[in-house]
Structure 1
Amino acid sequence: MTYTVNASILLTDLPLTERPAAVATHGFTRAEFWWPFAGPVPEHGEAAAFVAALHDAGVQLTGLNFYAGDMPAGERGALSQPERTEEFRANVAAVVEIARETGCRAFNALYGNRVPGVPEAEQDTVAVENLRWAADAVAPFGGVVLVEPVSEAPDYPLKTAADALAVIDAVGRENVKLLADFYHLAVNGDDVAAVVEEHAADFGHVQIADAPGRHEPGTGDLPVGQWVRRARELGYEGLVSLEYVQSAPDPFAWLPREQRA
């Protein structure tokens, strides 16, 4: 198994630029991040410091979210919100610059919460246009845009794999793929085993956490390991992201060190 650490939900007791070294200290060589800056375009020097921290730690950046707004306040993306298209596209340019510096090739595009008073069809049209924009921007260097169902966000319209796949079909770009977060799918009531059976070979990325609690595998009731193994058997060849909330002093104790790198 090849793992990557989501260092925006794990290792959060450390400043951003210290997290890549912590990833390496725990025996991993890959990390992904949600958009790590306050605005859609980093302030002067912020991106350079982030890139340098990854290089200095010898950690490969495997995934980066596009700007998703104020996530602690409940925002979950900007790309479907008509008044934020300029903001989103400015962020795409910033993401491309970081990708070219780091070799990152996977980019999570959170769809955005519904905007009251704006027809849903208009929001969906804007989303498709912006996803095409992002896909075309990262295509020259082999980048993939990921579309993710999300839980615990009532106004976020993509809840199931089918919801996300319908958007992906509408976009019509080969480098736009499903991000199969087994935790979000399970919590939303999707049939994760069926999603794996039907779509594993086409997954763009996999993220895992157990439920209830969104903690380490083995802390809840989800057969996470079984789903991952079956996805592999059916042709998924990508990374498995550890995207969970730490519940123990060592958040990686469940995973033998020899299996981490």
Structure 2
Amino acid sequence: MSYTVNASILLTDRPVNERPQAVADAGFTRAEFWWPFQTPTPSDAEIEDFVGALDGAGVQLTGLNFYAGDMPGGERGVLSQESRSEEFRANIDPVLKIARATGCKAFNALYGNRVDGENPAAQDRLAVENLRRAADAVAAVDGVVLVEPVSGTDAYPLKTAADALAVIAKVDRDNVKLLADFYHLAANGDDVARVVEDHAAEFGHIQIADHPGRNEPGTGDLPLEQWITRSEELGYQGVIGLEYKASQEDPFAWLPRERRS
């Protein structure tokens, strides 16, 4: 198994551009981030500083979220929202700049919460349109757009693997794939073992946290290593994203250092 540290949920006691070095200091060589800027269209200087922090630490960027709005405030994407759609579209070019500078090829496009007063079917049509737009754009860098079921937010409509796969089928692009976050799927009551058996070879990415709590592996009751091993047996060849909340001083104590790089 190869691991990548989600440095937007971990190592948050440091500024964003100091986290790649913290990832390296912990013995890892890969990192992924949610959108690391305040706006969907950061300046070239801001992008250069972020890329420089990765280069300086010798850390490969393996995954990046498209702009998803105010995540701490409860937003979970803007691509399905008529009033925010232009923000998502404007974000595509900065994502491509980072992709070309880093070699990153996986891009998580959070779907967006339902908006009171808006027609859900209209939101879904807009989402498909914007996902196609994103997929066509990142194809230029051999990139993949990821669609993720999410827990903890009632207004977010994609809760199971089946929900996300139905959207992916409508988008109808070979480079749009399921992000299988085992924590979110389990928290939403999905049959994760069945999802692995049926779809592991098609996963675009795997992320993990234990449940309950969304903390380090071993703090809950999910058979994470079993699911990962079975996914790899069935054809998954990607890295495993460590996307959990630290509950102890060393959030990586569960993983021997020789297994981190």
For normalisation by structure 1, the TM-score amounts to 0.99
> AA paired with 1:200?
A
> AA paired with 2:34?
W
Over aligned residues, Cα RMSD in angstroms? 0.6
1:187 is aligned to 187
1:168 is aligned to 168
Is 1:79 the counterpart of 2:79? The answer is yes
Q: C-alpha distance in 2, partners of 1:218/1:85? A: 39
* CA-to-aligned-CA distance 1:142-183 (integer Å, 9 cap, x gap): 100000000001100000000000000000000000000000
CA shift, 1:85, in A, is 1.8
2:227 is aligned to 227
* CA-to-aligned-CA distance 1:127-154 (integer Å, 9 cap, x gap): 0000000000000111000000000011
* SS, match of residue 130 in structure 2: helix
- Deviation above 3 Å: which 4+ runs of structure 1? none
* CA-to-aligned-CA distance 1:44-91 (integer Å, 9 cap, x gap): 521110000000000000000000000111000000001222111100
- 5+ residue gaps, structure 2, are none
1:48 is aligned to 48
Q: C-alpha distance in 2, partners of 1:196/1:64? A: 23
Q: C-alpha distance in 1, partners of 2:154/2:165? A: 19
Q: C-alpha distance in 1, partners of 2:239/2:52? A: 23
* SS, match of residue 45 in structure 1: helix
Q: C-alpha distance in 1, partners of 2:252/2:226? A: 19
2:198 is aligned to 198
1:58 is aligned to 58
Is 1:242 the counterpart of 2:242? The answer is yes
* CA-to-aligned-CA distance 1:226-246 (integer Å, 9 cap, x gap): 100110111100010000000
2:122 is aligned to 122
CA shift, 1:43, in A, is 3.7
> AA paired with 1:196?
V
- 5+ residue gaps, structure 1, are none
1:252 is aligned to 252
Q: How many residues align?
A: 261
Q: C-alpha distance in 2, partners of 1:203/1:17? A: 29
Q: C-alpha distance in 2, partners of 1:50/1:254? A: 29
> AA paired with 1:104?
C
* CA-to-aligned-CA distance 1:10-52 (integer Å, 9 cap, x gap): 0000011110001000110000000011111114521110000
For normalisation by structure 2, the TM-score amounts to 0.99
* SS, match of residue 84 in structure 2: helix
1:208 is aligned to 208
* SS, match of residue 186 in structure 2: helix
Matches within 5 A, 1:99-118: 99-118=99-118
Matches within 5 A, 1:136-175: 136-175=136-175
> AA paired with 2:101?
E
Moved more, 41-50 or 140-149: 41-50
> AA paired with 2:245?
V
> AA paired with 2:62?
T
Q: C-alpha distance in 1, partners of 2:48/2:214? A: 32
> AA paired with 1:27?
G
* CA-to-aligned-CA distance 1:161-212 (integer Å, 9 cap, x gap): 0000000000000000000000000000000000000000000000000011
* SS, match of residue 205 in structure 2: strand
Q: C-alpha distance in 2, partners of 1:44/1:182? A: 35
* SS, match of residue 132 in structure 1: helix
Q: C-alpha distance in 2, partners of 1:123/1:94? A: 24
